[in-house]
Amino acid sequence: MTISKNYSNLMIKWAKDLFPLCRSLTGNGTLSTLKYFKKIHKEIKIISFKSGTKVFDWEIPLQWEIKDSFFEHIKTKKRFAQFKKNNLHVVGYSYPVNKILSKEKLLKHIYTLKKQPNLIPYVTSYYKKSWGFCISENQKRKLPKGDYKAFINSKLFKGELNLGELIIKGKIKKEILISTYICHPSLANDELSGPVLSVALIDYIKKKFKNNKYTYRFLFVPETIGSIAYLSKKYKILKKNVIAGFVLSCVGDEKKFSLVESRLGDKISDIAIKSSIFKKKNFKKYSYLHRGSDERQYCFPGIDLPVSVFCKSKFGDFKEYHTSADSFKIVTKKGLEESFIVMSNIIKSFEKFLYPRTKYLTEPMLSKRSLYSTISKKDVKNEDYLNIIVYCDGEHSIFQIAIKLNKSLDYILEKINKLKIHKLIY
């Protein structure tokens, strides 16, 4: 079994284990997710921020916990939107409710998707006091007339927001930042795919590079408020040390390979992702105007970290996004494995061949090393080794070389590794 297949088996297991938990910006579901990962990598540090703490222009919200929710038809006793059957049925951060009300009034607190009538939407109200239920449009249309009991057994209180940090120290202080989010409930792609890929990459770095050159900083944050809170404490050290950063989001499906560029689109993180996926037939590149995850904070003016986003299908651009269809029907072992290969190739490039340099002042004789044909014919195509070498000047990154030669990063990695074995580059 290949390394990537082994990790794909682990990732799908971790994701399925964590899928039932009701994660949010705060609460036991999010903390339990961090503790699960901490059992795999004990070095994960859980950092807490108390409710009410000012973080730049924001404030850490109250902690939200929920035990149960549903609404019940008084006459028939039939229950709908049962939280214990699907945690998407409750609007995230709903305050507690226990009241009888008419169907007309209840409908004002029910959310559906008219264009996707069979699906349950994912809805939250973090910063405005509210309550509500989410059901399919088809179910809403069939609700019987009469009064209903609305019941939400939740509480909001001064607690804390938790996030995870793991640092793998390198020979130098310059860092690669890898960030993902842990604040969505039972959504497979737009939640768990990113964290499980991060956990797999931690393991990969530990085992593959016993004496890694770069320092790696992994973050598991509640989206937006978590990265803002972390930056409020650590942005100076990040600005000083981070040379490239990657937000991992929606990396578990098999549909596309997507890059969301950094704010200016000129960072090494941009070209690193592009070189690893631009030869895929379903590659798609988005400008920063299509941002949507924590790159919004990492790239904000004044912070300006060199951070890009890697997705399979970009958030918001797949039909299952923020619905009950975001399940393991779209997140697969193959999808996760493909993402692992993309990111592990990028890490390998940083560690081994970031700025390769040729050892000779003229073209080396490749034929005596069986790297070039000894027969000169116009239909013999074996220029790749030489084309790679001419850009091994210590100034072009391996990512730039891949783009320049119109070859995939994994192909260039293979060729450069051979050149290094033959001591033609260093």
- 372: confidence class by pLDDT, cuts 50, 70, 90: low
63-157: CATH topology is Glucose Oxidase; domain 1 (3.50.30)
Instruction: Report pTM.
Output: 0.95
Whole-number Å distance between alpha carbons of 386 and 379: 17
Q: Do residues 145 and 106 touch, judged by C-beta distance below 8 A? A: no
For residue 259, the 8-state DSSP code is: E
State the amino acid at position 135 in one-letter form.
I
- Angle of CA points 174, 286, 124, to nearest 5°: 90
| Residue 45: its H or E element | strand 45-50
Backbone angles phi, psi at 144, to 5 degrees: -70, 155
Per-position DSSP letters for 213-227, written without gaps between them? SSEEEEEEE-TTHHH
| Residue 352: its H or E element | helix 333-352
Judged against a pLDDT cut of 60, whether residue 201 lies above it is answered with yes
pLDDT tens, position by position, 162-177: 999 999 999 999 999 9
- 380: confidence class by pLDDT, cuts 50, 70, 90: very low
Going from N- to C-terminal start, the domains of the chain cover 3-61+160-352, 63-157, 367-421
Summarize the confidence of residues 348-357 as an average pLDDT: 96
Nearest to 135 by CA among 116, 121, 125: 121
Phi-psi domain of 83 (left: phi exceeds 0; alpha: psi -120 through 50; beta: other):
alpha
Judged against a pLDDT cut of 60, whether residue 364 lies above it is answered with yes
Whole-number Å distance between alpha carbons of 292 and 303: 17
Say what the pLDDT of residue 376 is. Answer: 53
Fold match between domain 3-61+160-352 and domain 63-157: no
Could you list the beta-strand ranges (E) of 313-353.
none
Domain 3-61+160-352: assigned CATH number: 3.40.630.10
